[in-house]
Amino acid sequence: MEWSVEQLSSSLARTIARFEEEEMGVRPSRVTVMVEEDLVVVHLREVLSPSERALARTEAGQAMLQRFNTLLFNSGSSPSVMEQVSQVLRREVVEVQTSLSSLSGSLVVVFALGEAVHFDQV
């Protein structure tokens, strides 16, 4: 079945929001997804818990949160968010970059896509 860009964006938004809620315990207030040919950009708003917001008040805390989010999105869960995104898009995810704004509590995640992958039907 061919999906429209809107359907893919909606499915990815649900997948990423669920991942963030399950892994971090905070449901983003809003998730925006942009799908291009070989790139997916996800913007999650208000993803910091109260304790993370407090930690983000210091430069060291900001750096720690940034490193943690990078690790989390690259390999921190099972199945990884990379695997989940790959399944939705039916494309290999070859790279993930994250950028966390401690001021706004927003997270931007960029997925670089590779070749099409085929999953066995269960």
81-92 pLDDT, tens digit each: 888 888 888 889
Nearest-angstrom CA–CA distance, 109 and 69: 10
Where are the chain's structural domains? 5-106
DSSP state of 101: E
**How far is residue 63 CA from its own chain's centroid?**
18
Q: Does 50 sit behind a cis peptide bond, omega within 30 degrees of 0 on the bond before it?
A: no
Question: How is residue 86 written in tokens?
Answer: 């790959």
40-82 pLDDT, tens digit each: 999 999 999 899 999 999 999 999 999 988 888 877 655 678 8
Q: Give the SS3 label for residue 117.
A: coil
Give the global pTM: 0.84
Strand partners, 96: 111
